[in-house]
Amino acid sequence: MDNPLEHTVESEPWKYRPPYQIHDPKEFGPVKWRAHCQCGKVSYMLKRERALDAKYCHCRGCQVLHGAPFQWAAIFHKEDVSFTKGASGLAFYSSSHKSQEYELPTKVSCAFCHSPIMDEGRNVCLLFPELIDLTGSDEEKRRKLGAFKPTCHIFYEQRVLDIEDGLPKWSGIDKTSSLLDDRGCRLQQE
C-alpha cells in the first residue's frame, strides 16, 4: 500500500530540511529578524543577527529576474532560516534549466504575489534584505540594515549604472575575476 505521506517524505525530502522544515518556535531559538513578502502569505524567521556576507550582483540574470538594476543578496546558513509555513506557498525556478522543478540552485519566490524571496544555493541561502521587517524612522531602518551590508559588488562589468561607494568591485565572481574601480576601469592587480 502506498502511504501518501511517506511518499512525500521520500520524494521531496528537502521539504523536511532547513530552511523549509517547520519548527516549534522554542526549538528554533531566539528570533533576530522576521521577513515577509509583499502580500504577506510568505514569512520567515532568522536566528542569526548578521549576514555571513552580502553582495550586490550586477549580472544580467539578476537584472531580468528582479526587474531591477542589480540584486542585493545576504548570505545565511540554511539552519539560520525558517519559513513559517514550510515550503507551502513558495514557487521555485531553476534559471539554469528554465524549470519550475525544485532543484538546487533555485530561485524562491512567493507563489501568490511573486516577490523574490531568496536564492537557495547548494550550501547556503542568499536572502533579499528588502523583505526584512523593520521598525522606526527611515534613518533607523537604514541603520538596522547595516546587519546585511554588502562587502563587494560582483559582475560589475554588466552593470547598468556606476555605484560610487568605494566597495571592491569584481568584473565577475568575487576573488576569481578582475578588480574594477567605481567607473569599471580595471585596477592593477599584484
Least distance (Å) between residue 84 CB and Zn ion = 12
Distance CA 85, CA 67 (A): 27
Q: Which stretch binds Zn ion (CB under 5 A): 21-29, 58-66, 95-103, 172-180?
A: 58-66
- CB-count exposure of residue 175 (10 Å: 0-12, 13-18, 19+): exposed
Which of 20, 28, 37, 116: binder of Zn ion (CB under 5 A)? Answer: 37
All residues at 6 or more sequence positions from 93 whose CB lies less than 8 Å from its CB, including other chains: 99, 100, 106, 107, 109
Q: How far is the CB of 159 from Zn ion (least distance, A)?
A: 11
Burial 77-100 (b: 16+ CB within 10 A, else e): ebebbbbbeebebbbbbeeeeeee
Is the Cβ of residue 35 or residue 62 nearer to Zn ion in the bound state? 62
Q: Which of 87, 110, 125, 126 binds Zn ion (CB under 5 A)?
A: 110
Residues with Cβ within 8 Å of 142's Cβ and at least 6 positions away in sequence, in order, are none
| Collapsed DSSP state (helix, strand, coil) of residue 56 | strand
Query: Which cell goes with 100?
Result: 519550475
| Span from 5-13, 48-56, 75-83, 109-117 in contact with Zn ion (CB under 5 A) | 109-117
- 160 scored as a contact of Zn ion (CB under 5 A): no
Contact map string, positions 3 to 22, toward Zn ion, x by CB under 5 A: --------------------
Residue 39 binds Zn ion, judged by CB under 5 A: yes
Which set of grid coordinates corresponds to residue 19? 530552511
Contact region with Zn ion (CB under 5 A), list: 27-35, 59-67, 79-87, 176-184: 59-67
Among 59, 108, 118, 126, binds Zn ion (CB under 5 A): 59
Which region, judged by CB under 5 A, interacts with Zn ion, from 111-119, 142-150, 159-167, 182-190?
111-119
- Contacts for 45 with CB less than 8 Å, ≥ 6 apart: 28, 31, 33, 34, 35, 81, 82, 84
Would you tell me which residues interact with Zn ion (CB under 5 A)? 37, 39, 41, 57, 59, 62, 110, 112-113
